[in-house]
Every structure is written in C-alpha cells, then in structure tokens.
Amino acid sequence: MQQTRESQAGFTMIEVLIAILIVSIGAMATFSLLSTATRNAQRAKASQVALEFAEQEMELLRNMEYKKLALTSTPEFSSNELSPNNRISNSTFALSRQPKGNYHEIVRNEGPLYGGGEVTGGTVSPGPTPFTNGDVSGKVYRYIVWRNDEKCSEEKCPGTQDYKQIVVVVRVNSPASEASARGYYEVQSNFVNPVKNAETDPTPGQNGVVTAQQFFLTDTPCSPTGVTVRQEILGSHLLHNTLGTCASEPHSGTTAGAPDALVIGSPPDPDPEDPNNPPEYDYSNDNYLDTSPDTGKGLQIRRDDTNGCHYTPTGTTDPESQVHRWVTDPMPSSFLMTEKVTLQFWTESLTPNTSSAGRICVYLFKRNDAASPPDELLTNKLGGTGYWTYTPLENAPWPQEWTKVRLTMTFNGAPYTIPTGYRLGVAISVERGNTLAEALSFMYDHPKYPTRLEVDTSTPLEGG
C-alpha cells in the first residue's frame, strides 16, 4: 500500500522548537529546585556549626574563675538590627531579642561593683572575634550582665549583683551567592557566685540560686586523694578497667581498677584552627573489641550477657568492657543536687555503615570511699529504678557517625546531698535485649566532643 507524503513527514521546525522550549522549562525548574535545596543544606550546616561553636564558647566561659568573668570593655552600639550589638544601650544589654527589652548592667572592667569600687580582673573580650570552620565563617560576640536573684531576700542578697548571666552570639557570614545578610544564633547561661550563693539558704525554691554544675568525662583515672590532673592522651590504649575504687590505681584487663575522672575543666584544644588536632584515639584498643578492619574510636562498651540494666555486669568474660564508670574528686564541701541531671554524650555505631538498634543504661551514684559497698545509686523519679535508659527516637537505628545526645534525668529524694569528702559518679552500660550490635562507641575528653554531666545545684563549685 502506498504511503502518503503526510504520513512520511517527520517533526516540523515549529514542533521541534516547542519541544526544546518544554524541555528547557523543565530543566530550569529542576535546576532551580536543586539550587534551592543546595542553599537550604548550606544554611542548615551553617546553623549547626554556629550553634555548636556558641556552645563550645559558652563552655570555655563557664569554666573560668568567677572574678575573671567580666568584659575587658563595653561593646559598641550598632544601628544594624541584624547585629547583636544593636541590643546595647549605654552600659546595658537587652537579654530579650525581639522586641528588645530586659536590659541589665554589663559586667565590665572599671564598671560599678556593689558595695563600692570597680570591677577588675576581667579577661573576656566582647568581640566580635572572627572564626572559620571549614567553609563556614563568621564572628563571635560575648556579653556578661549582672542579675538580681528575686528569690533571695535583700537582707541575705543585698544589691542587684547576685550572679552573672552569659550570652554568646555567633553571626555567620553570608556567602556571595546570597543577596541578604543572615541573622545570628545565641545561647545563654547563668553563672552563680560560689561564695555569695553559699551564704544564702540553698534550699530549692527558697533563697539558693539554681545553676548547672558541669563535670566533663575524661580518659584519666581518678586520683585517690586531692585533685585529679587530666592526662594528655598520646595514643590509642587498652581499655581502663573502672570497676574498682580510686585507691585501686589504674588497671587494664580483668583487674579492678580506678574509675575514670569527672573534672570541672573542659577538654583543652591545642590548635583550634586544625580540626584534626588532636586526633581521635581508641580508648578500648583490646583485641576482643576490634572490628575487621578495626575502625573503633573512643570507648567501646559491650552489651551485657543478659537482658536488662546491670550496674554490676552479669558477664564473666571481660566484664570490665560491659560497664564504664566515672567519678568526681571528693567534694570540698556539701554539694546539693536539686533534682535534675543531664548527660550530654557523643556516640556512634561500632561498625560504620551498619544499621542496627541500640539502648544504653545510665546510672548516677554517690560514692563513699570508706564504705563497703562504696556506692549508693540514685533512683529514677519516673520509674523508681536505679537507672535511666536512652533509645533513639521511635527506635531508630543507632547513629552511624558521631552524634550528640542529651539525656535528662530526674531523681527521687531531691534535694540530694553529696557530703564533703564523698564523690558523685556516672556509669554507662549497653542493654542486651534492645541492642543488636556487640558494642556501641562513645567519644569524650576531646574538644570536638565535650561529653559532660550537667547537675542542677544551688551550691556550685568554683569554676562551675
């Protein structure tokens, strides 16, 4: 059958142009979506870096001596509403951001000191101080203001300089591809005068100011007496057996050794400009904790031999690897805990790219070195157990890379006292029934991973 000329014809020029136009519009829409997604990802990354940088800066300030916690000069006012210095008014700073309000006197050298005289000895620069973290850069601003404790009577807490409040602000630089300037991120924290607060009534809800005392988890065994001096981590090493007391001295293997220490100071950073210094070491470099290839960093804790949470491990083979303990130095004075404790820790799966569920058990305890047994466990206010548990939200897999987790614990019997000479301790074990992997990894005693115990207290220690 003979075909017509029309049936043999291909696309006309107009049809080709229309097809090209349709494809171009689709491609433009796709590229626009990709560009938006990329910008959103960059902004999310910048936000995370800014918040983590602000928290690290806050930790450094909170570990300073109280008398040094003052600005070296008053920050200059800025008319730019995107600058935190827009909240400056003469020698005051607005704690409320939008709308601006709640102004308080800035703690600064040569500023007024209640009872006469001037503030001296402050070492905190207000900034802005530039910083760079990978492809994210920006500026850090610091503010410290005087606060009045309204719960404390004028007779016991005269004046309005009862304690200090710290504000750290991080403003991220906008990349050239963004037309508008970015805002800023901030964190705030109270800092109680340890001497003045000790003179008030420490009963919660009465006159004692409640603040959070921070104890950082270290890789250094605790000292049997006096103050533990953090040891520099020089390389990977065998697991510390922490099942003994501080008098047991350090041991690895099955011999019960000293727990690792909880100290007030945050991990030092020898080179803030180099993210790879210090490196990440393996604190459990034992062959029975190795993977193939061995990728473990930090501390690896093996799951227990039986289901449930066990402060004393039930396993008989390498039980020291199934629970890890940390304790403070003996308290120099009575330490009053006002019901809430938060453990911030960094964790990841033992084997990267292996997705599996996990659950840990956390224990808080008071230790009397002279008693047998030395430890008294605090009890969970919600369940009455001697432990708290953490499982990823909605039973999601355990993180595949170092991830920060915060577990808040409330306990019975508040206010709870750690008497003079006693120690406060925390321990972690891995619950077998809800953990598929043989072990989970934890990182601490590293400036990038400031794992710490935050204890609400009305009797903070100096430097806390």
- The secondary structure of residue 421, as a DSSP letter, is T
Closest C-alpha among 1, 127, 105 to residue 54: 127
Q: Are 144 and 106 in contact (CB under 8 A)?
A: yes
Q: How many Å apart are CA 25 and CA 186, to the nearest integer?
A: 42
Q: What is the DSSP string of 288-329?
A: GG--SS----BEEEEBPSSSS--SS---SSSGGGSEEEEEPP
Closest C-alpha among 239, 434, 225, 455 to residue 340: 455
Q: What is the pLDDT along the chain (464 residues), one digit of tens a residue?
A: 444 444 455 667 787 777 778 877 777 766 666 555 555 556 667 777 787 888 888 878 877 778 888 999 999 999 998 899 999 998 899 998 888 899 999 999 988 887 677 888 889 999 999 988 777 888 999 999 998 877 777 777 778 888 889 999 998 887 665 555 667 888 888 776 655 555 555 444 444 566 778 899 999 999 998 899 999 999 999 999 999 999 999 999 999 999 999 998 888 888 877 878 899 999 999 888 876 667 789 999 999 999 999 999 998 899 999 999 999 999 999 999 998 999 999 999 987 666 788 999 999 999 999 999 999 999 999 989 999 999 998 778 999 999 999 999 999 999 999 999 999 999 999 999 999 999 999 999 998 898 999 998 888 886 44
221-225: long-range contacts, CB 8 A cutoff, minimum separation 24: 221/246, 221/249, 221/250, 221/257, 221/258, 221/259, 221/260, 221/261, 222/246, 222/258, 222/259, 222/260, 222/261, 222/326, 222/327, 222/328, 222/329, 222/423, 223/261, 223/329, 224/249, 224/258, 224/369, 225/330
Q: How many Å apart are CA 145 and CA 92, to the nearest integer?
A: 8
Q: How many Å apart are CA 128 and CA 170, to the nearest integer?
A: 9
Q: Break the chain into its structural domains and give their ranges.
A: 46-195, 211-457
**Torsion angles phi and psi, residue 294, rounded to 5:** -75, 110
Query: Is 408 in a helix, a strand, or coil?
Result: strand
Which residues pair with residue 300 across a beta bridge? 441
Topology given in CATH for the domain delimited by 211-457: Jelly Rolls (2.60.120)
